Amino acid sequence: MRASEDAILVEIYKRPIIESPDHFRPSKRVNLFIVQIIISPSPTRRSGARSRSRSQRNRAMEKAIERQRILLTHLLPSSSSSSSSSISPSDSSLLAASVCGAGDSAAYQRSSSYGDDVVVVAAYRTPICKSKRGGFKDTYPEDLLTAVLKVQTFLIQTVPVRTVNRQCSSGLQAVADVAAAIKAGFYDIGIGAGLESMTMNSVAWEGSINPKVNAFQKAQDCLLPMGITSENVAHRFGVTRQEQDQAAVESHKRAAAATASGKFKDEIVPVTTKIIDPKTGEEKQVTISVDDGIRPETSLSGLAKLKPVFKKDGSTTAGNSSQVSDGAGAVLLMRRDVAMRKGFPIFGVFRSFAAVGVDPAVMGVGPAVAIPAAVKSAGLEIGDIDLFELNEAFASQFVFCCKKLQLDPAKVNVNGGAIALGHPLGATGARCVATLLNEMKRRGKDCRFGVVTMCIGSGMGAAAVFERGDGVDELSNAKKIESQKWLSKDAV
């Protein structure tokens, strides 16, 4: 766009934002990215040529500069963009091009919903069953996944798939990868799923180890048994046996209450499978519809009788550790405008994801580092989060992370965690997303933001922030975000 002969050159690229239905849209908007602003003196005009007076030219220039000042104020991705301080029209040095660090999807305050959001329209899981002894002991992994991921025949030859491995966070990583690809425009719809049959697949390492590992202590720590890392957390950070056992009791208590009240029915897809009698070989068809690892009668006195598993004088027992389990989960994501066009309900909104590194010897502390990173990426504070799904790999690390971040117990694992439900490694992330979003939906406008997080073997942590599906409709928001906060992972 070029001004006539006032010699003010303003080059602007503009792209309309995909518009949502009228009840979501406060006004029509255009994203503006100022590329260049050049102010130069007017060329000398030939004698006798008619020209506007100097005062008219000055007013025109001031008007143009004021317009750019207003645009820059809206584009700044920091708290200064929302401040009331003004820039003097005469101070042209402040009129430099500004790149919106929040990205084109967050160059405005997110007080409503927009078509470029990545949304969750469905999230389901199978029941979680005890490995080798539970309802899925004779179920092939593929048959387990089929319960939550059924693909029409024609899609098999047209839709690509790939596997993801980040150990305990693989299910969440799959969801995050799909969300990132949708945000990048690679595709509009994707499924992030997780599957684990610990009955069929042993977690024991069967390969050879490079002897050079012995020369590097941190590399050796990556190979520590997970139970030893739990003992390390308890010892290093002073988590007592009683605290661990109490966390286990609470996990079973909450999971049992959620099951009894029917809360899990909204997220569980029943699985029809077979069970083979090990003595007679008789095959029986059954339908599994509930988690079979929950023990409602769990008590402190009962857990106190269990001996440590990994160290003779340790505190990690079978009762205060996550269960070895079988299960699957899947999460369907798409662009908001696509979901609305197809008539799908908006179940949740994917806001941010973070994976972090920690000391491999105490890998269980991962969530204590990942949660702040993901929350900050979403432009929020920990106090803004209404619910947490913090995977209970071990009670030691669960207790430490909650204490370290000073999390409200009433917000964390309100329906129990992996100590009671089980921890099918590859499926846990997707399971937690389904559990979190269903609970957020039940709580309605009193619950806007939730976090899914877990520790990861070899020294990592992962966390993702979700917003309740209808929580971004400004008419239903329970609380507003301060003007300096932006819901984008790049605006920090």
455 part of the active site:
yes
If you search the block for the tokens 């992996």, which residue do you land on?
Answer: 418
Are residues 88 and 130 both part of a single domain?
Answer: no
Tell me how many domains the chain contains: 2
| Residue 83, token pair as written in the block | 């401040």
Are residues 77 and 128 both part of a single domain?
Answer: no
23 part of the active site:
no
Are residues 138 and 83 both part of a single domain?
Answer: no
In a domain? residue 491: no
Return all residues near 249 (Cβ < 8 A) that are at least 6 apart: 298, 299, 300, 303
In a domain? residue 111: no
Q: Which of 100, 168, 401, 447 is catalytic?
A: 168
129 part of the active site:
no
**Cα 241 to Cα 231: distance, rounded to the nearest angstrom:** 10
- φ, ψ for residue 326 (rounded to 5)? -120, 140
In a domain? residue 224: yes
- Extract the runs of DSSP E, i.e. beta strands, from 60-186: 118-125, 129-130
For 370, the domain range is 118-472
Q: For residue 51, what pLDDT is reported?
A: 52
The amino acid at residue 141 is P
Q: Which of 100, 402, 447, 455 is catalytic?
A: 455
Are residues 346 and 457 both part of a single domain?
Answer: yes
Return all residues near 203 (Cβ < 8 A) that are at least 6 apart: 324, 425
CATH number at residue 420: 3.40.47.10
**Cα 78 to Cα 252: distance, rounded to the nearest angstrom:** 44
The C-alpha angle with vertex 435 and arms to 429 and 436, in degrees rounded to 5, equals 90
Are residues 331 and 403 both part of a single domain?
Answer: yes
Contact predicate 314/229, CB 8 Å: no
Number of Cβ within a 10 Å radius of residue 488: 23
Are residues 49 and 132 both part of a single domain?
Answer: no
In a domain? residue 370: yes
**Cα 469 to Cα 439: distance, rounded to the nearest angstrom:** 12
Are residues 208 and 327 both part of a single domain?
Answer: yes
In a domain? residue 386: yes
Q: For residue 65, what pLDDT is reported?
A: 72
Q: For residue 53, what pLDDT is reported?
A: 61
Predicted TM-score (pTM) of this structure: 0.74
Contact predicate 128/280, CB 8 Å: no
In a domain? residue 478: no
H or E stretch at 332: strand 325-335
Contact predicate 387/411, CB 8 Å: yes
**Cα 396 to Cα 161: distance, rounded to the nearest angstrom:** 36
Are residues 194 and 124 both part of a single domain?
Answer: yes
Are residues 196 and 297 both part of a single domain?
Answer: yes
Return all residues near 169 (Cβ < 8 A) that are at least 6 apart: 355, 428, 429, 454, 456, 460, 462
Are residues 255 and 350 both part of a single domain?
Answer: yes
In a domain? residue 335: yes
| Residue 47, token pair as written in the block | 């004698």
Q: Which of 401, 402, 423, 432 is catalytic?
A: 423
Are residues 254 and 326 both part of a single domain?
Answer: yes
pLDDT tens across the length of the chain (492 residues): 433 333 333 332 233 333 333 333 333 333 333 333 333 344 444 444 445 566 666 777 777 677 666 666 555 554 433 344 444 444 444 443 333 333 333 333 444 457 789 999 999 999 999 999 999 999 999 999 999 998 777 777 888 999 999 999 999 999 999 999 999 999 999 999 999 999 998 767 777 889 999 899 989 999 999 999 999 999 999 999 999 999 999 999 999 999 999 999 999 999 999 999 999 999 999 999 999 999 999 999 999 999 999 999 999 999 999 999 999 999 999 999 999 999 999 999 999 999 999 999 999 999 999 999 999 999 999 999 999 999 999 999 999 999 999 999 999 999 999 999 999 999 999 999 999 999 999 999 889 999 999 999 999 999 999 999 875 444 333 344 343 343 333 333
Contact predicate 175/389, CB 8 Å: no
Q: How far is CA 219 from CA 165, 210, 337, in A?
A: 19, 10, 46
In a domain? residue 325: yes
Are residues 63 and 128 both part of a single domain?
Answer: no
